[in-house]
Structure 1
Amino acid sequence: MTGTPKPLPPRVPLVTQPMGLWQSLQTARKNILAIIPDIATRQPMVSGKTGKRWHMVMDPEAIRQVLLEKLDDYPKSLVTKNLLRPAIGDSLFIAEGAHWRWQRRAAAPAFSHRNVMNLAPVMTRAAEQSAERIAAAGPRAINFLDEMVSLTFDVISDVTFSGDEGFDRGAVHKAIDSYIAEAGKLSLFDILGLPDWVPRPARVFSTGGVKQMKRVADSAIEARAARGADEVPDLLDLLLAGEDPETKRQMNISELRDNLLTFIVAGHETTALTLAWSLYLLAFDQEVQDKARAEVQTVLSGRSASGEDVAQLPYIRQIVDEALRLYPPAGMVSRTALAKDTLCGREILPGDTVILPIYALHRNHQLWEDPDRFDPDRWSGDKPERYAYLPFGDGPRICIGASFAIQEAVIVLATLLSRFRFTPVAGKVPDPVMIITLRPEGGVWLEAEPIA
C-alpha cells in the first residue's frame, strides 16, 4: 500500500505486565478481553497461573485439536456454564456429550438453507421498519447499537413466535437485557470454579426476570403445540416437529423453551453487535462505504434486499466478515481439560483452563497481515486458515445459527446502505468491551443522511 496509512479503528488495550488474581478479577469485571497478554497477538500459545493453570491458544492446529479432534476432552468451562445456565438451562449451548448430540441432531433441520431462506422476508421487513425509524428521527445522531438491538429482536421474535399475539415481547426483551447486564459481572466464585448452588451475589436479583421470561415462553410453546404449525413454519414450528433421527427423541416443553431462549438471546444480541460494528466501520471508512453502496445500488436498483440477493452482494459479506474478525461477539471462550494432552508442544493437565481468545486470534500477526486494520478486501482472495477465523466457533459445535446471522446481517446492511449515508459523530468513539459479548461501550453514534 502507498500513501498515508489509514487510521486504525478502536482496539482493546491488552496487558503488557503480568497480573495477580485480584487484579485479573477486577480487570475482567470491567472488560474480560483486557486480561489478554499483548504477546498473545504474536505467539501461538501463552500459559500462566492465576489461581489455577491456564493456557491461551492461538495456533490453528492446536485449536483444531480442542474443537474437533478431542472435543469431549475439552468441555465448556464451569465459568461459562455458571454464567448462562440460570437463563438457558442445559440447552445446546451448554449441554455436553450425548445430551448435546441428540439436541443438535433434532434442531439441525430447522437451520437448513431452505428454512433459513424461507425466513428472509422477516429480515427484509425488519430492515425496512428500521429504515423508517431512522428516517423519522430526522437529521440528528442516532445510537445505532440500540437501533440494531431493536431490529434484530424484531427478527428473532418474529421467526420464533410469529402470529402469537399473546407472546409478551417486551417482557422477554427486558428480562434478557437485565440478565445479560447482571450475569455478565464475572464473579470471583466463577473464577474459583465453585458449584452452581453457591449463590452469586450479583446474579441473585436478576432471576425474577428470568423466571418470568421462562413462563412467557412456556405459555407460547404450549399454545402453539395446541394450535398447530403455520403454512410457512417458523423456528418454533420446526423445533416442535424436529426429532433426533437416531433415537426419534423429541424435545419436551422445558427443552424447547431453553433452546428457544438460547436462540433468542444469541440470535439477536450477536447479530445486533455485528451490525452495529459494521455500521461504525462503514462510517469510519467512507471509501469502503462508497464501494459497498455502489454494489448495493447495482444489485438492488432501489428496492430492499431479499434472501436471493445475499449471494449477489459479496462485498457486503466481506464487510460483515471483517467486522466479525475485528470485533467477534464471542471474543473469548474457555474450556476445561479433562485429560492429559499436549498443545503446541506444551503439557496440558486435567483441570487446566484452556482459553481460546478469539479477539487475539483474529489479530495475531503470525496469521494476519496488518491485523488491526479494517480491510474488507482481505476477504476477496484466499480465505484464512480454517481455525484462524472463528466468529462462530468451529468443529461439531460450530454455531447452529451462523448462516441465519450472516443472511440477516447482509440483508440489513444492504437495505440501510441503499437509503442512507452514515457518518461518525465527533468525539463519540465506541470502546470495545466484553463482559459476555464484545459490545461497543458508549454506543455507536452516527448520523444517517438519506440518499437522494
Structure 2
Amino acid sequence: MADTSLPAHVPFTTEPLGLWGSLRAARRNLLEILPELAVRQPMVSGRTGLRWHMVMEPGAIRRVLLENVDNYPKSRATKNILRPAIGESLFIAEGAHWRWQRRAVAPVFSHRNMAALAPVMSAAADRSAARIAGAGERAVDFLDEMVRTTFDVIAEVTFSGEGAFDSAAVHRAIDAYIAEAGRISLLDMLGMPDWMPRPGRLRSGKVVGQMRRIADQAIEARRLRGAADVPDLLDLLMAGRDPESGRRMTTSELRDNLLTFIVAGHETTALTLAWSLYLCAFDPAVQARARAELDSVLGGRPATAADLGRLVFLRQIVDEALRLYPPAGILSRSARAADQLCGREVRPGDTVMIPIYALHRHRQLWQAPDAFRPERFADRDAIDRYAYLPFGDGPRICIGASFAIQEALLILATLMARFRFDLVPGRPPEPVMILTLRPDTGMWLRAAAL
C-alpha cells in the first residue's frame, strides 16, 4: 500500500531483473529498473546485454560530467532515440561540432535576453489563469494545462508573429514522436549497431518529416521578412555566430536546434510546474507560506522578472520539485576509454548511468529523501553541487536552465496568487519515465479562486 504521508514516488526494485525483465521495465517505466542499492551505495554495476554502471557518488559524477567529460559522450541509445527528430543539434553533437554550436548559441540565453522574454511568459500565465477560472469547481488536468501554457511560451519566443509556423501541428507531432520512438528497444540494450532499424523509430518517420518541414518553412519565411524590432529566439539564433570561427548556422542546423529547444523547452518546464502544483496541493502549509510570500513581495500586482530574486520560498518549492521529480530522471553515457569510478573498472563501451532520480533520494546525501521539504534549499551551499543535478552539470549543463527557472517562477507566481490548489481524491499521480518523468495518469487538481 502506498505511503500517503509522502508524495508520489516509485519503489526501487530489490530483485535482479535480468535482460527481459529490464526490457519490460524500461519500456513501461525506466524508474523501475533502478535497484534499491542505488539509494544506499556509491555505485552499482551489472550486465544486461551490455555492461553497465550506475553512479551516485558526487565525486565520481563530477569526473564523468566535468573532469573526464570527453571520455563519456552521450550513450548510443540516447542518440538513437533523439537523432531522428533533432539531428546533430547541440543536444546530440560531440567534440568540435558541439563546441562551435555551444559558442554560437550561448549569447542567446544571456540574462538580458531572458529578461526581455519575461512578458511573453507572464501573458501565457494570464491566459492559463483564465482557462483555469473557466473550469469552475471541475478538476483540471494540470499536466495538460501546463504543457499548453509552456508550449504557448516556446512557440511565441521562437517564432513570434510568424504565420508560417503551425505551432499546433508541431505540438501534435512532438507527442506522436515521443509515443512511437521514445521507448528503449531490445537492440539498444544489446548494443546492436546504429544501422540496425528500431521499429518504433521507423514508424515515427512521417511525424519527424512534418516537424522538419514546418520548421524549415518558418526559417525561410523569416529570412525573407527579416528580424523583428524585439528579436525572438529564431532571430537571435540566425544572428548568432561562433566568436572563434565566425561560422553561422545553416538552415538544417537552425532547424535541428530550434526543434531541440521546442521539444525540451516546453515539456520539462511543464513537468516542473505540474509537479510543483501537486506538491503545494499535497502540503497546504507550504502552499499558504508561498502565498504569503507572494502577497508580501507583490502586493497583488503581477510578478515580473525583477521580482524573482525576492520570491525565495517559491524558488525553494521549484528546487524541491526538481529534486523529487527531475524531468531527466536518468542521464546515460558511454565510456570511450578505460577509467575507474569509485575504485571500479570501467571498460571502453560500458554504459555509465547517472540515475538522477535515485541520486536525489540517496540516503547518504539527503535527510528524509522521499519527503517534500522545500526549506532544505534555504542554504544552497550546504548541498553538494554533484548531489543535485536537475539540469546536469559540466560543460554540457542545460543551456536553457535560466529560461526554465524564470518561466516556472513567473507562471507559478501568477497561478498561486489567484488560486488555491487541492488534491482530487482517488486520482494520485504516478511518476513514470519514458523520455521524461511524467505523471502517467495526468495531474488532476482542483483550483479555487481566491
Q: TM-score, normalised by structure 2?
A: 0.98
- Check if 1:333 corresponds to 2:331: yes
The residue aligned with 1:259 is: 257
Q: Which residue of 1 aligns with 2:351?
A: 353
Does the CA contact (< 8 Å) of 1:128 and 1:304 recur in 2? no
Distance in 2 between residues matched to 1:204 and 1:11, nearest whole Å = 33
Partners in 2 of 1:121 and 1:79 — Cα distance?
38
Q: Residues 314-343 of structure 1, C-alpha deviation per residue, up to 9 Å, x if partnerless? A: 111100000000000000011000111111
Contact preservation (8 Å) 1:10, 1:432: yes
- Contact 1:31/1:435 (8 A) holds in 2: yes
Tell me the CA shift for residue 304 of structure 1: 2.0
Q: Does the aligned pair in 1 maintain the 2:48–2:190 contact within 8 Å?
A: no
Q: Which residue of the partner structure matches residue 369 of structure 1?
A: 367
- Residues in 2 aligned to 1:382 and 1:338: alpha-carbon distance in whole angstroms: 34
Q: Give SS of 1:274's match.
A: helix
- Return the alpha-carbon distance in structure 1 between the equivalents of residues 259 and 200 of structure 2: 21
Q: Which moved more, 1:198-207 or 1:17-26?
A: 198-207
CA contact (8 A) 2:50 2:191 kept: no
- Preserved contact between residue 122 and residue 155 of structure 1 (Cα < 8 Å): yes
Cα distance, 1:185 vs structure 2 = 2.0
Report the 3-state secondary structure (helix = DSSP H, G, I; strand = E; otherwise coil) of the residue aligned with 2:37. Answer: helix
CA distance in structure 2 between the partners assigned to 1:35 and 1:212 by the alignment: 34
Partner residue, 1:46: 44
Partner of 2:17: 19
Match of 2:337, SS state, is: coil
CA deviations 1:212-233 (Å, max 9, x no partner) are 1100000101111221111111
Alignment of 1:80-91 (within 5 A): 80-91=78-89
* Partner SS, residue 423 of structure 1: strand
Q: Name the SS for the 1:256 alignment partner.
A: helix
Q: Name the residue aligned to 1:443.
A: 442
1:6 CA drift (Å): 8.6
Shift in Å, 1:306: 1.4
**TM-score, with structure 1 as normaliser:** 0.98
For 1:386, give the aligned amino acid. Answer: R
Q: Which runs of no fewer than 5 residues in structure 2 stay unpaired?
A: none
What SS does the aligned partner of 1:40 have?
A: helix
Residue 397 (1) aligns with residue 396 (2)? yes
Distance in 2, matches of 1:191 and 1:402, equals 30
The size of the alignment, in residue pairs, is: 447
Supply the distance in 2 between the matched residues of 1:294 and 1:206 (Cα, whole angstroms): 47
**Offset from partner CA, 1:14-65 (integer Å, 9 cap, x none):** 1101111011001110001110101110111111111121110001110000
Please name the residue that 2:176 is paired with. 178
Unaligned segments of structure 1, at least 5 residues: none
Segments ≥4 residues shifted beyond 6 Å: none
Instruction: Give the 3-state SS of the residue equivalent to 1:366 in structure 2.
Output: coil
**Residue correspondence of structure 1 range 65-76 to structure 2 within 5 A:** 65-76=63-74
Q: Tell me, yes or no, if structure 1 residue 388 matches structure 2 residue 387.
A: yes
Identical aligned residues as a percent: 68
Alpha carbon RMSD of aligned pairs, Å? 1.1
User: Aligned letter for 1:449?
Assistant: A
Q: How many angstroms does 1:206 deviate by?
A: 1.8
Report the Cα offset of residue 92 of structure 1. 0.5
Q: Secondary structure at the match of 1:321?
A: helix
Match of 2:129 in 1: 131
CA distance in 1, matches of 2:14, 2:431: 18
Looking at structure 1, the residues matched to 199 and 51 of structure 2 have their Cα atoms a distance apart, in angstroms, of 26
Kindly indicate whether the alpha-carbon contact (under 8 Å) linking 1:392 and 1:402 is maintained by their aligned counterparts in 2: yes
Paired residue for 2:8, among 1, 7, 10?
10
Amino acid at match of 1:242: G
The answer to whether the 8 A contact 2:140-2:446 is kept is: yes
